Each structure stands twice: as C-alpha cells, then as structure tokens.
Amino acid sequence: MQGDQGLTWRSWRILLSEVFVISIAALKRNTAILRQLKEEAGCGLVLALKGFSCWKAFEYIRDDLDGCCASGLWEAKLAHEEFGKKVLTYSPAYNESDVAQLCEFTDQLDFNSLGQWQRHCEFVMAHPRFKSGELHCGLRINPECSTGSTPIYDPCVPGSRLGITADQLKGADLTGISGLHFHTLCEQNSDALATTLNAVEEKFGDLLRSESITYLNLGGGHWVTKPDYDRARLVQLVKDTKERYGVDCWLEPGEAIAIHTGVLRSTVMDVFESAGHRVAVLDVSATAHMPDVIEMPYRPDVFLVAEDGVGEPAVCFKGETYHLASEGEGVVHRLGGPTCLAGDVMGDYAFSRELVPGDTLVFDDMAHYTMVKTTTFNGVKHPAIALQHEDGSIEVLREFGYEDFRDRLA
Ligand SMILES: Cc1ncc(COP(=O)(O)O)c(C=O)c1O
C-alpha cells in the first residue's frame, strides 16, 4: 500500500530519518487538474507561495500555471526569480522599501487598506512600469460574508484587519486602482464561492462595473483538487463574473496545488507509559514541523512503515480516543515531539502492534502549509527536503545542520 501521494516507500530505507518527501507525480496530477480548469474558465491561475514554496519543484509544475501569488516582498522575489511568469502580490502592509522593490517586477500589487494605497500611490503611479501598463494596482475588499467554520481562517470576522469594507470605500478617490481582490474561503467548495460572489455583487457590484476596474482576484481556498469539488460550477461562476463585470479573473490556490503531494518521515525515539497512556516520542515535532496540527487543529493520517523497508508499509489506524487500546482498536499510542512544549502532540493513534524505538512513521499530507511554517524551536533538527521523481528515484535537495539553527539566530 502507498499513500495518496503515489510515493513508493520501498527505497526509504536509504533515507535520513526526518525528511519531507514531495512527490512530483502527485504535484503534476494536481496542476493538470488546475490547468484544465483555468482553460475551461478562461481565467488566470497562480500558485499561492504561502502554502507551498519548495522552489526546486517549480520546474515540474510551471507549464500548467500562470505564475505565483506572493504575500510580500520575499515571496514575490522567489516567484520572480525561481518561477518566472506572473507575480501577483498582496500584503496586509508594505513599507516604502518593499513597494520600491516590488514595483520593479510584480505584475499586480494589491493593497489592504485605503491608508496603505494613499501612502504609496504617488510613488507607484510615477513608476515607469505603472505608466507603461506593466504594473497594475488593486485593493483587497472585505465582502463581510463568512462562509467557513474556523474563525482564525475567516478574514470576514467582525473587526478583521484583512480588506476594505464597502462602507470604508464610500467616496474614496480610486485614481490608479484597476483591480479588486478578495480572499475569504478556506478548504471550501464552489457553493461558498457562489455565496461570496453574491455578497461582492451586492456591496461592490457598481465599482466592478466601472470602466476603471479590469481585474478581479478571487483569492484561494478553492479546494479544486478534492474529488467531490464541483469544478463545473466554479467554471460557470468565473465565466459569469467575467461577463457581468467585463474583468479578467484570477484564482490563487495554495492548498489545492500541494494537497496530497508529500509526507514527513520520522523515527520513534522512545516509548513508555504515562498515567495509562502509551507515549511515543518521535524525532519530529508537531509545533516545529507541522504547526497546523496544533493551530487548526487537525489529525494527520499516519502510517507505520514495515520493518524491512521493502514492499508495502503497514497501515496505521487513526485513533481519536484518549485511552489505551480497547478491543479491535489496535495498540493506541500518543505521538509527541521532542520539544519542551507539553502540547507538542500529534494525537492518539492505534497501531497494529506496539511501537518500538527505531520504527519508521510517515505523516501523510505534509507538503502544504508545513514546510513553509517550520522552525528550529528547542534546537530541534529541521527535516531534510527530498523529491521523489516520477521514476521512483529520490533526490535529497537539502539537509539541515547545527549551523542552520545557529546562523538564523544572529
Ligand atoms: C490572499 C490569499 N490568497 C491565497 C491564499 C491561498 O489559500 P489556499 O491555500 O487555502 O488555497 C491565501 C491563504 O491564506 C491568502 O491569504
């Protein structure tokens, strides 16, 4: 058996213990879906680097996408230097130096507040790339339409700092603005987009119909590569939006591009009992290497890889219970990391047998919003980064050492 990623774990005996492995085949499978979608909808589609920025994998997905969206100067530079193609930049706030550098290469520069735009508009509008039409500027709007269920991922919560509400926009001088941008979804289907577009029409429809607005960025959060995602509805919504307002439309998914494309391999370091719980301490950490497990929170799937490292890995049963194994559940272990944080716990999982030090565990779906968020908290070793190519071969791109930990701190 192998995970959704299409990774063949046979060769993993040769790998280092802590390592993120990205499957090129799985990435290409996702981007092929997105390419078809954007061609049918007639829109632009870029990779949100905040979700996945393993730039050595860009060469395998570049042809399917129109470029990248960036959360600020450094992601924009990475997009420009390593991906090429379009760079769409939006940040909650820029300073003068960010804007001066971004004006040199970004294609769209979206501002989060009227204050930010007013602070930078004189410089931007005087820039030769703005005057020649190579650089376009937009505003992030807040349609005040919550469709998700997790408040920390909801930019429409009352008091949100993300985007301009229709009220705030009333009577504003929008000279120089040619685009609007919203991002309100998170892991959602196209019904949530339909709801949001209705709110956008109600609050910003007149502005969108004005001659000056030429693009609308529909943000990310579209879980397009999920099997039950209604792609036909997304295509129709984009087509209708383009026609209704006479604008170019852009989508900027992150998760949909990198979901089910990589795993984090780890080794069991210690196993013991604590107040009725069987605890396994691993060499990877929830807080340092997969922080969304704690932040969101969620439980990743886990696999126990067969001892001999050859053939199929054993399946690990996902356990949601907080007690030792009851009949039929297998042996429940509380998996935790090697840091001092008491809550550095991935969850309780039932395995077909008792874990022992040296066992290999693989955490599923660790390519998106993981590698971009890692730290070396507690001086924990950063996992290596590897690609698995379509022929099954593994290329270790980067290993991290003590110097990486030391040098980042001063
Ligand atoms: C402005 C913006 N665009 C795009 C994205 C990508 O979203 P996702 O990875 O959920 O598709 C995000 C994620 O937070 C975002 O804030």
Per-residue confidence of the chain (410 residues) as pLDDT tens digits? Answer: 344 555 555 555 556 789 999 999 999 999 999 999 999 999 999 999 999 999 999 999 999 999 999 999 999 999 999 999 999 999 999 999 999 999 999 999 999 999 999 999 999 999 999 999 999 999 999 999 999 988 889 999 999 999 999 999 999 999 999 999 999 999 999 999 999 999 999 999 999 999 999 999 999 999 999 989 999 999 999 999 999 999 999 999 999 999 999 999 999 999 999 998 899 999 999 999 999 999 988 888 888 887 665 434 545 555 443 333 344 567 889 999 999 999 999 988 888 889 999 999 999 899 999 999 999 999 999 999 999 999 989 999 999 999 999 999 99
CATH number of 42-258: 3.20.20.10
50 lines ligand 1 (CB under 6 A): yes
Q: Is the CB of 186 under 6 A from ligand 1?
A: yes
Q: Which atom of ligand 1 is nearest to the CA of 222?
A: 11
Domain with CATH 2.40.37.10 in the chain: 9-22+262-366+374-409
CB 256 within 8 A of CB 218: no
**Tokens coding 368:** 């998106």
Minimum CA distance residue for ligand 1 atom 12:
220
Judge if the beta carbon of residue 148 lies within 6 A of ligand 1.
no
8 A C-beta contact, residue 318 and residue 311:
no
Residue extent(s) of CATH 3.20.20.10 domains in the chain = 42-258
**What gap in Å lies between CA 166 and CA 332, rounded to an integer?**
52
Q: How many CA atoms lie within 13 A of 293 on its CB side?
A: 28
DSSP letter at 160?
Answer: -
* Torsion from C-alpha of 297, 156, 39, 261, nearest 10 degrees: -10
Q: Name the pTM for this structure.
A: 0.93
Q: Whose CA is nearest to atom 7 of ligand 1?
A: 220
pLDDT at 17: 81
Judging by beta carbons within 10 Å of its beta carbon (0-12, 13-18, 19+), is residue 183 exposed, middle or buried?
buried
Please enumerate in sequence order all residues whose Cβ is within 8 A of that of 391, keeping only pairs 6 or more positions apart, or say none: none
- The letter for the amino acid at 217 is N
Top CATH class of 9-22+262-366+374-409 equals mainly beta
Cβ contacts of 391-394, under 8 Å, gap ≥ 24: 392/8, 392/10, 392/11, 393/11, 394/11, 394/12, 394/14, 394/15, 394/21
Of the candidates 343, 400, 342, the residue with the CA atom closest to the CA atom of residue 374:
400
Ligand 1 site, residue 155, Cβ cutoff 6 A: no
Q: Are 266 and 360 in contact (CB under 8 A)?
A: yes
Alpha-carbon span 390 to 369, nearest angstrom = 23
Residue 57 has a pLDDT of 98
